[in-house]
Amino acid sequence: METQKNYFCSDMGVMLGRSMRHIFRSMDTILTVTVTPIVMMLLFVYVFGGAIQTGTDNYVNYLLPGSLLIAIASGISYTAYRLFLDMQRGIFERFHSMPIARSAALWGHVLTSLVSNAMSVTVIIIVALLMGFRSQAGVLEWLAVAGILALVTLALTWVAAIAGLSAKSIDGATGFSYPIIFLPFISSAFVPTESMPKVVRAFAENQPATSIVESIRALLYGQPVGNDLWIALAWCVGIMIVAYLIAMQVYKQRA
Amino acid sequence: MNSNQNKAIQVNGLQKAYKKLQVLKGVDFEVEKGSIFALLGSNGAGKTTIIKILTTLLKKDVGTASVNGFDVATRPGLVRQSISLTGQFAAVDEVLTGRENLIMIAKLRHLENPRQVADELLNRFSLADAADRRVVTYSGGMSRRLDIAMSLVGKPQLIFLDEPTTGLDPEGRIEVWKTVKALAANGTTVFLTTQYLEEAEQLADQIAILHEGKIIANGTLADLKKLFPPAKVEYIEKQPTLEEIFLAIIGKKEEK
């Protein structure tokens, strides 16, 4: 058992290398997790943007946080997809019958999710910069933004793990992500909630995407962060813990 | 103790139920080191359940099982060090190339020279030409060969092959048979399950028949033959089987 612990990091490195190859060899994955959010950003800024009144002079600045959330939500659906395929094929059995930590196979997917989402978020931010996105945030604010996004990724990754581990078909493994991808649309990500009808507005203001978007916005544009940050953190940590516990339970039973 | 050291596997009174379905009802057998052991049984007889218990993937309900002298329940880590599993469905990564698959396993087994280990196995399993192609382009027989090659990384003393030839064409099956014989010739113990009687007959030093959760016969092919009435001498005209015809035609084509 001791030897297993010593090797945990190098084993995780091997698992990460494997899944990253899966990502880079899948055109579909790259298109969905980076190109689609970028196209949406272009569409919103250059097509709808002129008609949207957000009270800011630069709409890219306004919609960047929401675009990042959508990218992460579509990114984690691929984590569920890869996990599902590993469960279906014999490769998990092979890993589990080898002298490596049993959880390494699962944590490898979680780590991959963090790394690949960080990469797509970075690409999207670079494109946003080209489109005129500017921020007065300093190093600390950027670190806080990175921390929030990492936490969002982790929380959603464990939700994806439940789907990937327990699904009976590929549709089931990835379908769960659509509601998550749509959450930012019914939040303050693209338009201020003040313009929405009462019921929709109540939902929009009390769902996690709004508090996450508002916290990132506040950090990027030097506004006071306020309660949004704590609400966002509570959502992320809460979802992460519950999803982690369920996913681990399913993993023990099924893998 | 001395007799134990010659045993690769010892199983006593093994029982396992899935909810109310009793799959194994007290299974006993032993496997000698360096031999080829075939577990025969129809679909659903519990062959895979036995393999899963012996490879630490599944917990037994009752009984004892040890692999290479280590109890599977109390020393799973040491069991996993000394075995390899080639499951029923090829456990290869189709997105990676053959070489990348082997290097990955070599790294996970923490070997010194993963590349060198991969090269050796690619040559040994005649996969060198296809080494840098993605596995998704491989034929069924090639995938299976790679699968077995991956199980040999790190030279485990005992390898489990769960229905290694199911779904393969006749040529692929003969390839796998050759591989298994070569393994045993090198001193590796092979535990295989199969539903094909011919496969057990071709390969195994020892054959056990699993039926309704129990081993109902166990021994060498000669032992098992003794259980039946002595052979009568009859004269029949032997027609070639379709398989023999198929292989003969293919063989001729390849000679040209």
Find which of B92, B107, B135, B153 to mutate to test the A interface (most A CBs within 10 Å of its CB): B107
Q: What is the pTM of this model?
A: 0.84
What ipTM does this complex have? 0.85
- Considering CB atoms only, which of A17, A90, A98 is closest to B80? A98
Averaging pLDDT over each range in B55-69, B95-109, B198-212, B222-236, which range is the top one? B95-109
Compute the nearest-CA separation of A91 from chain B (Å).
4
Q: Between B91, B96, B105, which is nearest A89 by CB? A: B91
User: How far A27 CA lies from chain B's nearest CA (Å)?
Assistant: 12
- SS3 sequence of chain B: CHHHHCEEEEEEEEEEEECCEEEEEEEEEEEECCCEEEEECCCCCCHHHHHHHHCCCCCCCEEEEEECCEECCCCHHHHHHHEEEECCCCCCCCCCEHHHHHHHHHHHCCCCCHHHHHHHHHHHCCCCCCCCCEHHHCCHHHHHHHHHHHHHCCCCCEEEEECCCCCCCHHHHHHHHHHHHHHHHCCCEEEEEECCHHHHHHHCCEEEEEECCEEEEEECHHHHHHCCCCCCCCCCCCCCCHHHHHHHHHHHHHHC
CA dist B75 → B4, B65, B72, B81 (Å): 17, 11, 6, 10
Q: Which residue of A has its CA nearest to B81?
A: A99
Contact pairs from chain A to chain B, CB under 8 Å:
66
Q: Is A10 exposed, middle or buried (0-12, 13-18, 19+ CB in 10 A)?
A: middle
Instruction: Kindly report, residue by residue over B93-128, the tens digit of the pLDDT.
Output: 999 999 999 999 999 999 999 999 999 999 988 899
Helices B170-185/B140-152 angle, 10° precision: 20
Per-residue model confidence as pLDDT tens digits over B127-173: 999 999 999 999 888 888 899 899 999 889 999 998 888 878 888 88
Rounded Cα–Cα distance for residues B85 and B248 (Å): 33
Residue type present at position A244: Y
Q: What is the pLDDT of residues B126-136, one digit of tens each?
A: 899 999 999 99
Chain A interface, best mutation among B50, B110, B132, by max A CB count within 10 A: B110
Partner residues linked to A138 by β-bridges: none
Question: Within 13 A of B172's CA, how many CA atoms are on the CB side?
Answer: 17
pLDDT score for B256: 54
- Who's near A212: CB < 8 A, 6+ residues apart? A65, A69, A148, A152, A232, A235, A236
Contact B14, B26 (CB under 8 A): yes
Nearest alpha-carbon partner for A94 in B58, B90, B181: B90
Q: What is the pLDDT of residue A152?
A: 96
Q: Is B7 left (phi over 0), alpha (psi -120 to 50) or beta?
A: beta
The confidence score (pLDDT) of residue B121 equals 93
As a whole number of angstroms, the distance between CA A243 and CA A73 comes to 15
- Closest by Cβ to B109, choosing from A4, A93, A98: A98
From A10, A90, A98, residue closest to B87, measured CB to CB: A90
CB contact under 8 A, B108 and A95: yes
Q: With an 8 Å Cβ cutoff, are B88 and A90 in contact?
A: yes
Contact B85 A26 (CB under 8 A): no
Whether residue B56 lies within 8 A of chain A, CB to CB, comes out as: yes
CA distance A60 to chain B (A): 37
How far away is chain A from the Cα of B121, in angstroms, using its nearest Cα? Answer: 18
Interfacial B residues in 64-93 facing A (CB < 8 Å): 77, 80-81, 83-93
Q: Which residues of chain A have pLDDT under 50?
A: 1-4
Local confidence band at B1 (pLDDT 50, 70, 90 cut-offs): very low
* pLDDT value at residue A9: 87
* B27 and B217 Cβ atoms separated by less than 8 Å: no
| Cα B39 from Cα B24, distance rounded (Å) | 14
Instruction: Say whether A97 and B83 touch across the interface (CB within 8 A).
Output: yes
Output the average pLDDT for chain B. Answer: 87
Within 104-133 of B, beta carbons closer than 8 Å to A belong to: 104-105, 107-110
A22 and B95: CB-CB below 8 Å? Answer: yes
Phi first, then psi: what are they for B158, rounded to 5°?
-140, 130
Rounded Cα distance, A64 and A250, in Å: 35
What is the per-residue pLDDT for B38? 93
Whether B190 shows a pLDDT value over 70: the answer reads: yes
Would you mind telling me the total number of residues written for chain A in this entry? 255
Give me the pLDDT at residue B105, please. Answer: 95
Tell me the C-alpha distance between B8 and B252, whole Å: 42
> Which two three-digit tokens encode residue A161?
């793990």
Inter-chain CB proximity A94 and B91 less than 8 Å: yes
All residues of chain B having their beta carbon less than 8 Å from the beta carbon of residue A95 are 108
Per-residue CA distances from B118 to B104, B106, B111, B148 (Å): 9, 8, 11, 13
Residue with tokens 């996970």: B108
Task: State the nearest Cα–Cα gap between B20 and chain A, in angstroms.
Answer: 17
